[in-house]
Structure formats: C-alpha cells, structure tokens
C-alpha cells in the first residue's frame, strides 16, 4: 500500500529531475518572466512562508494555474509520462499538504481538484498514489473515472497504479471496461493481469459478443482482459478468434 516516506522521496526525485531539466534547457517565455527553475523555487518559498493554511491554499491555487506558462509542458526526460508542469503542480500540492493535519489533507486535495482546470486536475490524478492521503482519495478517483474527457480519464486509467492499489475488484473491472469503450490501450493499465478473474473475463467476453452481434469489431486489446481458463467452450472459440 501507500508508503509515505517512499512516495515523498519519489516526488523529490521528480522535482530534482524537473529542476535539472529546466536549468539545462532554454525556455521560450516572455522576457519579463523569471527563469523557470527560479520561479518554481520562489513559489515554493512563498508557500513555506505563508502565515496560515488558508493563505497557503490561495497561493497554491494561483501558482498551480501558472505552472504551464512558467515552466512549460514538455515531457520530463527522466519519465516522459510526466510533463514539466505536472511535476511542478504535484510538488507544490505535496508541499501544501505537509502543513495540513492528516484529517484535512484529503479535503485539500479535493478542493484543489475542484478549483483547477483540466490540466491541473490531470496532474492531481496522476499523482494520487504519491500523496500522503492516497487511501482517502478513492472516491475522487472513481468520480474522475466517470468523466467523458479522454485525457482526464487516461490520467486515472493508464500508467497509474492508484486503481490497482486501492480499487475494489468491481470498480477496477468497470475502469477496464470503460477504457475499452473509449478505445484505449489497456496494456498500459497497471495490474491488469493481477486482476484477472471470472467476473472480468465474463464482462470482457460479453462485450466481444455484443460487438460481434452488432456487426462491429471488438475493442482492440480486449483479449488482455480475459483469462481463457475462465471461459466456457463456446466463448473460448470466440476468444481464440480475437
């Protein structure tokens, strides 16, 4: 499950990689803008020096909204699944949470999500499992999985180990099915094979049969959600044709 010390170190590692990349690469910005790494460090200092948690949260919202413009959204070279602005936002959010009592941390994350635009929400969702209150954010993750936004849904469904760690089996299965409906590459879902079971195999093969009956092709990669040992002889023939 969530190891706060280990996850704190991962966030620090991402932040160090971000600062190194920002300092090494030219940044296309207005001449009046501060150099990106200095801007981020100044933002962190202002969060640190806030007089109370409400002021700190207001500053966080302002800085988070500025991250894309100030540090850019290039992929992080160390981990291309993350972009520069996402790492900056996650680092600022994690810093914000260090000043909150454990009982208030999840509420702060949900408030940050509520007030953020989609790019800010994506950064929060991608980093859920690295936050100290991860186990208290399952409802936020599941609600995010109901979105019609491809990018926001991908943030929780793909290359994110939160669902594999915290979802009950049924919730995880529904996430897989929606990813298939949205034509996403479920090979990028963390823990998929570990969640193989008769229920998931049955749901997936039912979707295959529905598509075939409607004269449509089954979703690509749907075989990755199916353990053939869970299928009856008729469905096994269908499975072998995928």
Determine the Cα angle at 183 with ends 177 and 185, to 5°: 85
SS3 83: strand
At 167 the pLDDT is 98
Q: Each residue of 144-187: pLDDT tens digit?
A: 999 999 999 999 999 999 999 999 999 999 999 999 999 999 99
At 78 the pLDDT is 86
At 6 the pLDDT is 78
Q: Which long-range contacts (CB under 8 A, 24 or more apart) does 99-108 make?
A: 99/50, 99/53, 99/56, 100/53, 102/132, 102/133, 105/131, 105/132, 105/133, 105/136, 106/133, 106/136, 106/137, 106/140, 108/57
The length of the chain in residues reads 242
User: For the chain, which residues score pLDDT lower than 70?
Assistant: 1-3, 25-34
- Cα–Cα dist 42/39, whole Å: 5
**Residue corresponding to tokens 């190194």:** 20
Contact 91, 15 (CB under 8 A): yes
């Amino acid at each position: 499950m969530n190891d706060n010390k280990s996850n704190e170190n991962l966030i620090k590692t991402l932040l160090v990689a971000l600062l190194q990349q920002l300092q090494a690469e030219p940044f296309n910005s207005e001449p009046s803008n501060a150099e990106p790494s200095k801007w981020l460090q100044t933002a962190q200092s202002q969060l640190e020096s806030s007089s109370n948690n409400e002021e700190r949260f207001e500053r966080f919202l302002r800085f988070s909204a500025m991250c894309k413009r100030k540090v850019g959204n290039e992929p992080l070279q160390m981990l291309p699944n993350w972009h520069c602005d996402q790492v900056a936002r996650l680092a600022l959010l994690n810093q914000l949470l260090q000043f909150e009592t454990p009982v208030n941390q999840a509420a702060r994350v949900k408030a940050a999500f509520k007030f953020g635009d989609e790019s800010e929400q994506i950064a929060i969702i991608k980093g859920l499992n690295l936050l100290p209150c991860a186990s208290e954010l399952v409802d936020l993750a599941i609600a995010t999985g109901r979105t019609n936004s491809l990018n926001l849904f991908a943030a929780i469904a793909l290359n994110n180990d939160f669902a594999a760690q915290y979802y009950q089996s049924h919730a995880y299965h529904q996430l897989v099915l929606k990813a298939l409906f949205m034509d996403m590459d479920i090979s990028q879902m963390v823990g998929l094979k570990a969640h193989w079971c008769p229920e998931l195999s049955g749901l997936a093969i039912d979707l295959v049969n529905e598509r075939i009956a409607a004269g449509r092709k089954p979703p690509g990669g749907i075989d990755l959600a199916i353990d053939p040992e869970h299928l009856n002889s008729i469905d096994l023939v269908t499975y072998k044709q995928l």
